[in-house]
Amino acid sequence: MLCYETAATVAAFFCIIYFFHRRFPLLTDYPIIGRLPEVLCNLWRIHDFTVQVLKSRGATTQLTAPWFTNINYLVTTDPLNVHHVLTKNFNNYVKGPECREILEAFGHGIFAADEEAWKYNRDLFHSLFKHRSFEEFLEKTIRKKVQNSLLVVLDHVQQQGSVVDLQDVFSRFTFDNICSIVLGYDPNCLSLDFPQVAIEKAFHEIEESVFYRNILPKSLWKLQKWLQIGKEKKMTEACITIDEFIYSCIASKKEDLSRYEENETGETFHVDLLTTLMREGKGKGEAHEDIFLRDAVFNLFVAGRDTLTSALTWFFWLVATNPLVEDKIVEEMNEKLGSNEKTVLSAEEVKKLVYLHGAICESLRLFPPIPFQRKEALKADVLPSGHGVNPNTVILFCLYSMGRYEEIWGKDCMEFKPERWISEKGGNVYVPSYKFIAFNAGPRTCLGKNSSFVQMKMVATAILHKYHVEVVEGCIVKPNLSIVLLMKDGLKVKIRKRET
């Protein structure tokens, strides 16, 4: 709980909050302290609480708090506002210095950067991802990991008849993958003995700490940082662990590149992203500094690790609890791929699976891996909803709430319904990114969108072809408090062999 984490530094603060929470009704602007009490008292269910608030306030509302908290947010799920901020008036809305302070661990990487720094990172990563050689390398890496680790572990669990945390399995799987893709080596975190990996835990600590920095008054988390207590202490320790890991990888890679520029066939020695970044800088005569490489690696890890873990975990929970959807996915696989005996399908093969694509989109709609994002206004503006925006106003987009917005998805918006993504002609329905912003929208649209779909489909088909995932009775599923929407206590399941 929050009060446990912050100990004495927030005891008095919560006494005040409790007092106002008892004396004033829900969603009231309290004297002096605004709506902060309701937010903090509902922090344990913040995502669903936000849905409730926005439904009662017409999709856009102001969140204010005492002056000393620096909390003055305009919260919205209105797709026209989203389109205006992320696309039509893109240059007026930035991450801003306060966001960079909150995302301190991200350094000057693409997620926290603005203007020229962001454009440089964007162009650089775009050039890396668009090459066919990278797509082939990615597919090869995923196939190898699915076949040699993921299915081996699940087969062992199935034979033992034991319970496994599927979220933990996916977290290990994506960690190994991102290490292979970015750094060029596999730490084998996903193995039968389930080893403890400090670097993986460190990323979780940072993501949770960043979430609290977005919620807590700035003065409070700054005090915690100075005193080195609570989440801030964990964040400091996690950053040290991650920096030591990344910088050691950079040093090792430099040694490799100094010895081997090309292999015997004259082809590139490595195609992992860190090597490519180093070669790209060297090729232009301006080698990237270690701090730039560190920030690039950190941001790539965040983009390609827990976001996929989140997407896969919620997808399999939804499929496991909706047997008719599972049957249709398996039926489509059998119908379109026939007697394909391959353990892991190729990228081209999984692209044929229209219903599976719809099921994944539906899962991302209901449980977006990044549940909210923020922007800060540079100049005064008026949103399409009519709300005025002052300079430095922070706008929060609640992706979780948008997926439950009836005006976009209809009265059945709470249902898991892959059919909403399939046209009458049997193709996938296109939904504008400002309505379905799981991969962001406008110029900041996720560069890894297509590769993410490919990875999820390759994993989903490999598992569903062989196994039926059964959620253990009594497993309570709820979101955690983090910038990535993972399950708080994991997803406890049993793996059953699929009957043919």
Is residue 446 marked as binding? yes
- Asked if residue 437 belongs to a domain, the reply is yes
**Would residue 61 count as lying in a domain?**
yes
Residue 442 lies in a domain: yes
Q: Is the pLDDT of residue 350 over 80?
A: yes
CB atoms within 10 A of CB 117: 14
- Greater confidence, 215 or 101? 101
Q: Using CA atoms in the order 115, 119, 122, 125, what is the torsion angle rounded to 10 degrees?
A: -130
**For the chain, how big is the Rg over CA atoms in Å?**
23
Global pTM value: 0.90
pLDDT single digits (tens) 309-320: 999 999 999 999
Examine the pLDDT at 64 and tell me if it is beyond 80: no
Tens of pLDDT, residue by residue over 384-396, are 999 999 998 999 9
Question: pLDDT tens digits, residue range 124-177?
Answer: 999 888 878 888 999 999 999 999 999 999 999 999 999 999 999 999 999 999
At residue 34, the pLDDT reads 54
CA count, 13 A, side-chain hemisphere, 466: 22
C-alpha 139/C-alpha 36 separation (Å) is: 46
> How many angstroms separate the CA atoms of 378 and 171, rounded?
38
Q: What is the share, in percent, of the chain residues with pLDDT greater than 90?
A: 66
Residues 6+ apart with CB under 8 A from 469: 166, 316, 319, 320, 463, 493, 494, 495, 496
Asked whether the predicted pLDDT for residue 212 surpasses 80, the reply is yes
Q: Is 8 inside any structural domain?
A: no
Does 34 fall in a domain? no
13 band by pLDDT with thresholds 50, 70 and 90: very low
Domain that holds residue 98: 42-497
Q: Is residue 330 part of a domain?
A: yes
- Tokens 């996690």 label which residue? 238
The β-bridge relationship of strands 394-398 and 381-382 is unpaired
pLDDT surpassing 90 at residue 434: yes
Longest dimension (CA), the chain: 76
Compute CA distances 5 → 8, 47, 220, 238, whole Å: 9, 20, 12, 16
**Count of structural domains, the chain:** 1
242-272: pLDDT as tens digits: 999 999 999 999 888 777 655 544 444 447 8
Residue 5 inside a domain? The answer is no
Q: Is residue 431 part of a domain?
A: yes
The CATH number for 86's domain is 1.10.630.10
